[in-house]
Structure 1
Amino acid sequence: MNPKGPILFFDSGVGGLSVVKEARILMPDRAYVYVADDAAFPYGDWQEDALRARLIALFGELIERFAPSMIVIPCNTASTLVISDLREAYPEETFVGTVPAIKPAAERTRSGLVSVLATPGTVRRQYTFDLIRDYASRCEVNLVGSEHLARLAEQYMREGHVEEADVAREIVPCFQEQDGRRTDIVVLACTHYPFLVNRMRKMAPWPVDWIDTSEAIARRALLLASALPLPDAQPQGRDVAIVTSGNVTKPLARLMTGFGFALQA
């Protein structure tokens, strides 16, 4: 770990930019690197052992290249699968992960009906079941593994367009009625999903509280970063974004520029 190095954000695609946006508000003087593992997107299509091996090897390359002061993994799928392995493999590094916001949802629900909207990989992981057991045993938690929503969000961010009917189909299973009660909270357990939340609100059959963990992740990073010295003065345009596919398209470059990154393959 280089205490003056950049903070490295890692996600399967562009979804983690939702956390970078919050982090920049809280830590404007830090240097940032953003890595989108779009060569492997979406992670939900991978077998767990293969994805675990890929990520452990990839992080070794990233740590050697950037010497980060901290590594933030907003991606729920990657965090719940491999963050303990990463901490074991790279014990000198500081990792900040994320988990589905099941605990705050259980504390805030009034109806007792909570839905967790996530990728298929996240909803089938034992980590998620353990969170429900530990923090939401008095609620009825409906796990909704969306096959297509992350792709739709990625498309929206890169191209600026998505069909609202496609979004509606993905969120319909979140809304349940039982004994006069209705789902009142939906946990957005994927960093891609907040970029579509306005579409979700519009297409929802009734109003719910959508829980987004982006700010909470950024605040955790801030807490850990407070013990680190500020980086040395850097030239303008210091922040870089990497896409593992090497597919540097003009729309993607514009997107990254809008978030303050110079895009590299």
Structure 2
Amino acid sequence: MSDASDRPLLFLDSGIGGLGVLREARVLMPGRRFIYVVDDAAFPYGSWDEDKLQDHLVKLFRRLIETYRPAISVIACNTASTIVINELRKAFPGDLFVGTVPAIKPAAERSVSGLISVLATPGTVKRQYTRDLIRDYGARVHVRLVGSQNLAGLAENYMRRGFVDEEAVRAEIMPCFVEHEGRRTDIVVLACTHYPFLANRMRKTAPWPVDWIDPAEAIARRALSLAETLPEPDGSPSAPDLAVFTSGAPDPSQTRLMSGFGLALVGAQR
């Protein structure tokens, strides 16, 4: 690769969640080449010790940067972003990184009832980073933090197999819905990139309508703002968009899913 105009944009998640962000980025940047890294060997990130996950991701990015020389790296995962984004910027000062954080600010600005919920993984819920966002941007509203143990896995299964237990989805989202002094929760922040793939099931099983905030477009637009500082691509990409599985062993349903997103599979990046 000769210069920044030829270098790909790299997206990383522990599973399929970042595909929604990738889809939005492709709409905004059709002339760019993309690499989607599925860190399935480490799925789910929420079960990791924070220090160990940080060390793992810094080491993984060292290999990814050496191999693919991305112009921009997008951490398409709230849990990973809150843990490692600052360390990545320190470790690779010449590289551009985009993180994913819960959309508490726009939710607080948009809420009419003043009751919002943040639906996240347990890891994101317990991060001080999340509580700092609430302190800085959620002072005028009541924010309920809801840590879901199972939604990311349900989304993975749904995207691979096309089926999800709607009662299981209902059980995971019900704590988001609060009634207080005649007011109801009116916004739920989807603070995990896996969750928007279940948005239709969430709407169907919710006890009342709410605004579900999907972070994908905002993340893609942030990547676009950085990409606009780089040289424009010279024509169409000369190589295909890639999917990289850190396990090196995607199952057939994962292979079909990546193919459906127009991604060519390559070997493991451990």
Alignment match of 1:151 (pick from 141, 150, 153): 153
Task: Give the Å deviation of 1:182.
Answer: 0.6
Q: Deviations over 1:141-165 (max 9, x none)?
A: 0000000000100111111111111
Task: Give the Å deviation of 1:78.
Answer: 0.6
Q: Which runs of 5+ in 2 are unaligned?
A: none
Task: Give the Å deviation of 1:74.
Answer: 1.6
- Residue equivalent to 1:77: 79
Q: Deviations over 1:176-198 (max 9, x none)?
A: 11111110000000000000000
The reply to whether residue 168 of structure 1 matches residue 170 of structure 2 is yes
The reply to whether residue 201 of structure 1 matches residue 167 of structure 2 is no
Aligned residue identity for 2:195? Y
- Residue equivalent to 2:102: 100
Task: Give the Å deviation of 1:251.
Answer: 1.4
> How many angstroms apart in 2 are the aligned matches of 1:107 and 1:54?
36
Aligned residue identity for 2:39? D
Matches within 5 A, 1:46-61: 46-61=48-63
- Residue equivalent to 2:186: 184
Alignment match of 1:8 (pick from 7, 10, 14): 10
Secondary structure of the corresponding residue to residue 49 of structure 1: helix
Aligned residue identity for 2:153? R
Alignment root-mean-square deviation, CA: 1.3
Q: Is the 8 A contact 1:248 1:264 kept in 2?
A: no
Normalised TM-score (structure 1): 0.97
- Residue equivalent to 2:68: 66
- Residue equivalent to 2:248: 246
Normalised TM-score (structure 2): 0.95
- Residue equivalent to 2:43: 41
Q: Is the 8 A contact 2:179 2:185 kept in 1?
A: yes
Task: Give the Å deviation of 1:248.
Answer: 2.2
Q: Is the 8 A contact 2:32 2:237 kept in 1?
A: no
Secondary structure of the corresponding residue to residue 10 of structure 1: strand
Q: Is the 8 A contact 1:157 1:255 kept in 2?
A: yes
Percent identical residues: 65
Aligned residue identity for 1:157? M
> How many angstroms apart in 2 are the aligned matches of 1:105 and 1:91?
32
Secondary structure of the corresponding residue to residue 227 of structure 1: coil
The reply to whether residue 26 of structure 1 matches residue 28 of structure 2 is yes
> How many angstroms apart in 1 are the aligned matches of 2:158 and 2:250?
17
Secondary structure of the corresponding residue to residue 188 of structure 2: strand
- Residue equivalent to 2:216: 214
Task: Give the Å deviation of 1:260.
Answer: 1.2
> How many angstroms apart in 2 are the aligned matches of 1:69 and 1:238?
16
Alignment match of 2:125 (pick from 113, 120, 123): 123
Number of corresponding residues: 264
Aligned residue identity for 2:142? E
> How many angstroms apart in 2 are the aligned matches of 1:96 and 1:78?
11
> How many angstroms apart in 1 are the aligned matches of 2:154 and 2:21?
18
Secondary structure of the corresponding residue to residue 145 of structure 2: strand
